[in-house]
Structure 1
Amino acid sequence: MTTIRIDDPADPRLADYRGLTDTALRRIAEPAGGLYIAESAKVIARAVSAGHRPRSVLVQEKWLDDVAKLAGEAPVYVVPDTVAEAVTGFAVHRGALAAMHRPEQPDPATLLEGARTVVVLEDIVDHTNVGAAFRASAALGADAVLVSPRCGDPLYRRSVRVSMGTVFQVPWARLPEWDAAASHFAAAGVHLAALALSDDAVPLDDFAAARPDRLAILMGSEGDGLSSEALAAADTIVTIPMSGGVDSLNVASAAAVALWALR
């Protein structure tokens, strides 16, 4: 480990951490650069434990002992609080950030092999919801998560933080568009159940009573729900019965309810 103290927020060695509040920039820069940002010693530790490799670590002095051992051979940039905030654009309350190399993404077909319960997220654009869905998936026994081409990045900083690092625990991959993705489930013998509002939808309790042995639970976007292509690919449409004039739950809450019922 090499410890380097930096007092200048314009130092080019801090480029990976600059302007993290600019969501549009990070969506472009993180995948193209093969990096993601892990925030807090706990999250960095989970990433390292999962075999992910840091390129560098940015840390405030008081947190140095907690994260230094996690850096491996990567440089550790020790900065004052004011420099951390000036570089990132926010107060780094958790004391540490790491620029992590993205691991190679598995093939969706490989993740479906032998999986009993899978969560599928279609076009979930809110990174908070993506992270919360991963946390529910980890806590309630999903074997994998598959995300659509336009779904938010599970390794985006907010997704990682909200998931409490469980995005490193649950294997995940991106699906192709539905004209190609549907065949992955059929070939693996995985029943695709779409959570949606429909006149012919099966109530969740009834579906759980005769749960298919191998199952993928398909969740739609925050505004429009599932696309017509996703609904056409589904083997069954399932609904969570509601009361009180509420027609649906937040996607992460719905994932937790469905996983609990189908455990």
Structure 2
Amino acid sequence: MPRIRLEGPDDPRLSDYRGLTDTQLRRRTEPAEGLYIAEGSKVLRRAVAAGHTPRSFLLTEKWLHGLEDVLQQFPDVPAFIGDAAVLEGITGFHLHRGALAAMNRPVPARLDAVLEEARRVAVLEDIGDHTNLGAVFRSAAALGIDAVLLSPGCADPLYRRAIRVSMGGVFQVPWARLPEGPLDLGLLREFGFVIGALALTPDAVGIEEFAAERHVRLALLLGTEGNGLSDVALASADTAVRIPMYGGVDSLNVAAAAAVAFWECRERTAR
């Protein structure tokens, strides 16, 4: 495996790692260039375990030994090694976790393939905050969600912050993008899913009541905190569902609401 000791931050081979704090830049360049950035040893290991392949590594000396087994799996992939100051000069931020990898993006999953074996699905409409998106994926991985569907307006699950917040959950839970245009959940119905929309509408039923119906295949539809679900999304659902609140609080952050809904609507029987 090529190991390249860095003397400074100006090596032209490090272009994948420059400007990592510029969200708008990375949103444009990473998908177009077929890459994403995995940050931290745990996330990096989960990416590799999911079958994703690195194009290079960037790490400090002290992380070299702890990731030796991972590096040895890819003998032809360069590992750039430098001190913390050099890495900060390249990336624009201090690496507390000391290790990054530029990873090749996997081929996007097909909707029908993602849904084929799923029983519990989360459908996310226009969630643009990477922290919220990552937190939803972490809860999905922990609480029995089999797949996540993303509207075209959702943030990128493979953006560095979303991956980090999810603790690699974006590699554990299959996900796919819905087609461009108005939200169309027809394929979910073809696969026999009942669709529950988390919304504060007058006709919404309580989450416990909804979960007690024990639907075999269930999709939970969640929108943004500011605007909630669109009228199109609400119209596509079979039932509006609410989480009862105390203390005059009207709603939860979407990531918190997702965790409550995932737990309450989990499958109670072994597959």
Q: TM-score range by the shorter chain?
A: over 0.9
Once the two structures are TM-superposed, the CA of residue 180 in structure 1 deviates from its matched residue by: 6.4
Q: 8 Å contact 1:178–1:233 — kept in the other structure?
A: no
After superposition, the Cα gap between the structure-2 partners of 1:205 and 1:143, relative to the gap in structure 1 and judged at 3 Å, is same
SS in 1 for 2:67: helix
Once the two structures are TM-superposed, the CA of residue 68 in structure 1 deviates from its matched residue by: 3.5
Give runs of ≥4 in structure 1 deviating > 2 Å.
177-181
1:229 and 1:178 map into 2 onto residues whose CA distance is: 11
In the other structure, the counterpart of 2:85 is 82
Pair 1:56 & 2:61 matched: no
Once the two structures are TM-superposed, the CA of residue 181 in structure 1 deviates from its matched residue by: 2.7
Pair 1:255 & 2:258 matched: yes
Q: 8 Å contact 2:39–2:160 — kept in the other structure?
A: yes
Q: Which runs of 5+ in 2 are unaligned?
A: 267-271
Once the two structures are TM-superposed, the CA of residue 80 in structure 1 deviates from its matched residue by: 1.5
Pair 1:99 & 2:102 matched: yes
Q: 8 Å contact 1:116–1:143 — kept in the other structure?
A: yes
Partner AA of 1:238 in structure 2:
V
TM-score, length-scaled by structure 1: 0.97
Match of 2:119 among 99, 116, 120: 116
Partner AA of 2:206 in structure 1:
P
SS in 2 for 1:133: helix
Once the two structures are TM-superposed, the CA of residue 178 in structure 1 deviates from its matched residue by: 6.0
In the other structure, the counterpart of 1:165 is 168
1:11-90 aligned within 5 A: 11-71=11-71, 72=74, 73-90=76-93
Q: 8 Å contact 1:178–1:230 — kept in the other structure?
A: no
2:18 and 2:115 map into 1 onto residues whose CA distance is: 37
Partner AA of 1:231 in structure 2:
L
SS in 1 for 2:19: coil
In the other structure, the counterpart of 1:234 is 237
In the other structure, the counterpart of 2:269 is none
1:74 and 1:68 map into 2 onto residues whose CA distance is: 13
Q: 8 Å contact 2:197–2:220 — kept in the other structure?
A: yes
Q: Deviations over 1:65-97 (max 9, x none)?
A: 122432313100001111100111100110100
The range that moved more, 95-104 or 113-122, is 113-122
Q: 8 Å contact 2:19–2:92 — kept in the other structure?
A: yes
Once the two structures are TM-superposed, the CA of residue 222 in structure 1 deviates from its matched residue by: 2.3
Once the two structures are TM-superposed, the CA of residue 17 in structure 1 deviates from its matched residue by: 0.4
In the other structure, the counterpart of 1:194 is 197
Q: Deviations over 1:1-42 (max 9, x none)?
A: 111111121111111000100000000011001100000111
Once the two structures are TM-superposed, the CA of residue 233 in structure 1 deviates from its matched residue by: 1.1
Q: Deviations over 1:147-196 (max 9, x none)?
A: 11010111100010011111101111111146463211111111111100
1:177 and 1:202 map into 2 onto residues whose CA distance is: 30
Partner AA of 1:233 in structure 2:
S
Once the two structures are TM-superposed, the CA of residue 109 in structure 1 deviates from its matched residue by: 2.0
Report the aligned-residue RMSD. Answer: 1.1
Partner AA of 1:23 in structure 2:
T
Once the two structures are TM-superposed, the CA of residue 127 in structure 1 deviates from its matched residue by: 0.4
Match of 1:204 among 198, 207, 211: 207
SS in 2 for 1:9: coil
Partner AA of 2:173 in structure 1:
V
In the other structure, the counterpart of 2:159 is 156
Pair 1:220 & 2:215 matched: no
Once the two structures are TM-superposed, the CA of residue 114 in structure 1 deviates from its matched residue by: 2.6
Once the two structures are TM-superposed, the CA of residue 212 in structure 1 deviates from its matched residue by: 1.6
Q: Which runs of 5+ in 1 are unaligned?
A: none
1:240 and 1:9 map into 2 onto residues whose CA distance is: 50
1:33 and 1:242 map into 2 onto residues whose CA distance is: 45
